[in-house]
A and B are shown apart, each in its own frame.
Chain A
Amino acid sequence: MAKFIPLSQAVAENLHAGDTAAFEGFTHLIPHAAAHEAIRQNIGDLTLIRMTPDVIYDQMIGMGLVKKVIFSYAGNPGVGLLRRLRDAVENGWPNRIEIEEHSHAAMANAYEAGAAGLPCAIFRGYKGAGLKEVNPNIRSITCPFTGEELAAVPSVRPDVSFIHAQKADRKGNVLIEGIVGIQKEAVLAAKRAVVTVEEVVDSLDAHPNACVLPNWTVTAISVVRGGAHPSYAHGYYERDNASYLEWDRIAADRETFLAWMKENVLDASPEVFADRIKGLEAA
């Protein structure tokens, strides 16, 4: 049953060194505040899963907290490459990381299989694709009915998933709106789930088919206004495109990166996010 606790406590209780963790969000509702808290607590040796690792995984990799990344698109959306991830893959700085690379279809299926309690996901994919040759976790299976050869990948079952959502009600039921991405699957596939929300309300006021995570599927909820910034929260604030562009400059240089992380993450707290969305809020 979801308990409302401060983010620092939620991270300390649910993320441990050596864990396999997903901080999910498909461009929208990316849990930046939760990732920054994990960095502040210096929880390392992590295997990180994400369809679209972007700025937060770049930051966690650059801070030396990551041993492996399982992903399908590692880029700064609309901007370009992830420079800290590149530095780790190309030069081993600050440490070598292992990568397990998939396609979006594979990752989406793998999360869904994890949520469904299955050991693997089966789909029609990877035909002629080079990833099959470099990722031993991409295998095939023959349909017992038609004989068709299909792709198979292990399901995704994180120790803990972190997501950001618009709101929770006072009982801890969580509402996600807009581009819902893979967040529901990420929560249901994980052993533990931590949700940061913009606000807590008396009633979610959601239509019958809305994407709601009942409170008994969530381990902890922390209120962090602006907690997705520079990503966005549909109906609350816009994506801060300038920050994504700025990240490309910051991440290009190791010293600049470390200085930025000290000032904006290590020496900061979850409360700073409320300020960061000023000027971006919905009218």
Chain B
Amino acid sequence: MTEFTSDEMMTIAAARALSNSDVCFVGIGAPSAACNVARLSHAPDITLIYESGTIGTAPEVLPLSIGDGILCDTAVTTVPVPEMFRYWLQGGRITIGFLGAAQIDRFGNINTTVIGDYHHPKTRLPGGGGAPEIASSCGEVFITLKQSLRSMVKKIDFYTSFGHGDGGDHRQRLGIETKGPTLLVTDLAIWRPDPETKEFTVTSLHPGVTREKVQETCGWTVRYAENLEETPPPTKTELEILRDLKARTEKAHGGSKKQGEAA
């Protein structure tokens, strides 16, 4: 078996969840890497959308921001931001919203706004951006983040984006018709919501990961699916695609502008 890191496993496991027919609203960071690995491997026709208005984009390297020029250069079309949010997101055209998170709870509620009290924050984070409506308007939501006691918490400090609220049918009670979070991919495991309670439950451990390790890096008591699986390790091809993408990205963004190459 080829050696791989837990970060690589996370990105590849997340990429596998995407299909060729998906229309995916891509968050920056970990989701962006996963979505582009999917596009460069098993889902060449996946439609990737970034909130800057780029629809059907196919960047050669990972963008540093949601509005890098390469997203526009390689897009099928680039629309104004109000159109993005009104026609495409609110209009129900997007099947999957792929988000990262600073803090998440066991029901997939996400905080990227503040640590501490909103009016007197301990740490003021950037805020929600597009996430509140991505979470409610996309057909379903995938989330990816690295596990830690800081990021996977019993109670989030602020409900930036609504997942399953207090669980159960909380979404329906608020009049939200979309599925909400259906998948959480971390560096250690794959989690899916329990059909009834909607609490994220580990359905697959990545190779070599123990239950103890999952619990040590999670702030709530972890529950496991009855038929717990092991995530297939990254294939040689998957790893090559991811590493090539990262190397191209590093070359394009790294170093000073003197080293920069015109696209």
Whether A125 pairs with B28 at a CB distance below 8 angstroms is: no
Whether B258 pairs with A279 at a CB distance below 8 angstroms is: yes
Whether A124 pairs with B81 at a CB distance below 8 angstroms is: no
Chain A CB within 8 A of B129 CB:
yes
* Cα–Cα distance between A51 and B45 once the two chains are bound (Å): 31
* Cα–Cα distance between A101 and B162 once the two chains are bound (Å): 17
Whether A103 pairs with B133 at a CB distance below 8 angstroms is: yes
Q: Which residues of B contact A243 (CB under 8 A)?
A: 257
What does the 1/0 interface line of A24-46 toward B look like (CB < 8 Å)?
00111000000000000000000
In the complex, what residue of chain B is closest to A51 when comparing beta carbons?
B81
Chain A CB within 8 A of B203 CB:
no
Q: Whole-angstrom distance from the CB of A25 to the nearest CB of chain B?
A: 9
Q: Whole-angstrom distance from the CB of A23 to the nearest CB of chain B?
A: 15
Binds B, one of A70-78, A165-173, A213-221, A250-258: A70-78
Chain A CB within 8 A of B66 CB:
yes
In the complex, what residue of chain A is closest to B263 when comparing beta carbons?
A238
In the complex, what residue of chain A is closest to B51 when comparing beta carbons?
A104
Contact of A149 (CB < 8 Å), options: B53, B113, B175: B175
If the complex has contacts A28-B67, A130-B160, are A109 and B78 also in contact, measured as CB distance less than 8 A? no
Chain B CB within 8 A of A259 CB:
no
* Cα–Cα distance between A27 and B52 once the two chains are bound (Å): 8
Chain A: interface size category: 35 or more
Residues of chain B from 112 to 135 with CB closer than 8 A to chain A in the complex: 113, 118-119, 121-133, 135
* Cα–Cα distance between A207 and B33 once the two chains are bound (Å): 34
Whether A282 pairs with B262 at a CB distance below 8 angstroms is: yes
Binds A, one of B84-92, B193-201, B233-241: B84-92
* Cα–Cα distance between A86 and B68 once the two chains are bound (Å): 25
Q: Which residues of A contact B170 (CB under 8 A)?
A: 128
* Cα–Cα distance between A279 and B159 once the two chains are bound (Å): 43
* Cα–Cα distance between A127 and B253 once the two chains are bound (Å): 37
* Cα–Cα distance between A51 and B123 once the two chains are bound (Å): 20
* Cα–Cα distance between A238 and B73 once the two chains are bound (Å): 12
Whether B86 pairs with A77 at a CB distance below 8 angstroms is: no
* Cα–Cα distance between A113 and B187 once the two chains are bound (Å): 43
